[in-house]
């Protein structure tokens, strides 16, 4: 005869198996899959990140949307190591499979092709790609990557337009309910402060540096490995920005 405790444990086990069986019949959305892929990143260690992406890639047939998403991030690991030819080659392979692909995959491709051009010193080729990514993401309620695209326009656009793009990205992030989208706030506060500094407006940068400093300190995942950035933001917020490097 089952005791009450064993009966409860059995019921929990049966319920868990039922939930797993139900989940197996429903694949996560591509946005959820992308979030999982992004969690594999250590941007300071692109080679190690590439190994994780390649292991993940083995689980998906070539040409599947999930495989294409992973391939865009493999390209980004190449770009971060300034291996731009390899990054473009990986993105060329993705581009060849884009016909009929979901819009989310196209957004991720456009972002990484744009980042590769921008990192290689060709922002004029990157900006149209980021603009396409933003338009496509906004049309499909792909909020996280819409903010990503606007934030990249705030980096790659001509200097006079960067502040406006950063402020647009900020408004999108502040207006979002999803915590993942709102995690853009700290880097955007930082970039807005930098945009003011680039304009020679140190006073205008101070409140944004203070916001970025507070947001980074409040998020251990974002602040990990960022002592230099925290110190710099703290100095700007206090009105004593560090001396520029010669």
Considering the chain, tell me which residue range(s) the CATH 1.25.40.10 domain(s) occupy.
29-164
Determine the Cα angle at 75 with ends 159 and 90, to 5°: 120
pTM across the whole model? 0.81
Stretch among 60-69, 129-138, 145-154, 225-234 having the lowest mean pLDDT: 225-234
Spatial contact of 152 and 111, defined as CB atoms under 8 Å apart: yes
**Between 138 and 237, where is the model more confident?**
138
Q: Is 15 helix (H, G, I), strand (E, B) or coil?
A: helix
- What's the average model confidence in pLDDT over 28-35? 91
Residue 134 confidence (pLDDT):
98
Which tens digit of pLDDT belongs to each residue from 98-114? 999 999 999 999 999 99
Least confident interval from 26-35, 95-104, 118-127: 26-35
Q: Please provide the distance, in angstroms rounded to a whole number, between the alpha carbons at the two ends of the chain.
A: 80
87 within 8 A of 111, measured Cβ to Cβ:
no
The CATH T-level fold of domain 29-164 is 1.25.40
Task: Report the alpha-carbon distance of residue 42 to residue 50 in Å, rounded.
Answer: 9
Q: What is the DSSP letter of 64?
A: S
């Amino acid at each position: 005869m089952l005791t009450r405790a064993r009966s409860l444990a059995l019921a929990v086990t049966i319920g868990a198996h039922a939930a797993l069986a139900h989940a197996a019949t429903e694949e996560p959305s591509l946005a959820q899959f992308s979030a999982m892929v992004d969690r594999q990143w250590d941007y300071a260690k692109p080679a190690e990140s590439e190994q994780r992406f390649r292991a993940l890639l083995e689980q998906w047939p070539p040409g599947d949307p999930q495989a294409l998403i992973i391939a865009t991030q493999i390209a980004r690991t190449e770009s971060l190591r300034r291996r731009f030819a390899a990054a473009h080659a990986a993105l060329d392979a993705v581009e060849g499979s884009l016909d009929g692909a979901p819009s989310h995959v196209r957004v991720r491709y456009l972002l990484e092709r744009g980042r590769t051009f921008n990192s290689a010193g060709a922002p004029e080729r990157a900006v149209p790609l980021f603009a396409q990514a933003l338009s496509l993401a906004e049309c499909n309620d792909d909020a996280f990557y819409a903010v990503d695209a606007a934030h990249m326009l705030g980096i790659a656009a001509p200097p006079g337009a960067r502040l406006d793009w950063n402020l647009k990205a900020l408004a999108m992030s502040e207006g979002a309910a999803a915590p993942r989208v709102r995690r853009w706030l700290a880097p955007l506060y930082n970039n807005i402060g930098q945009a003011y500094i680039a304009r020679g407006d140190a006073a205008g940068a101070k409140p944004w540096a203070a916001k970025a400093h507070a947001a980074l300190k409040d998020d251990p995942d974002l602040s990990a490995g960022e002592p230099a950035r925290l110190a710099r933001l703290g100095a700007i917020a206090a009105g004593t920005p560090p001396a520029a490097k010669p």
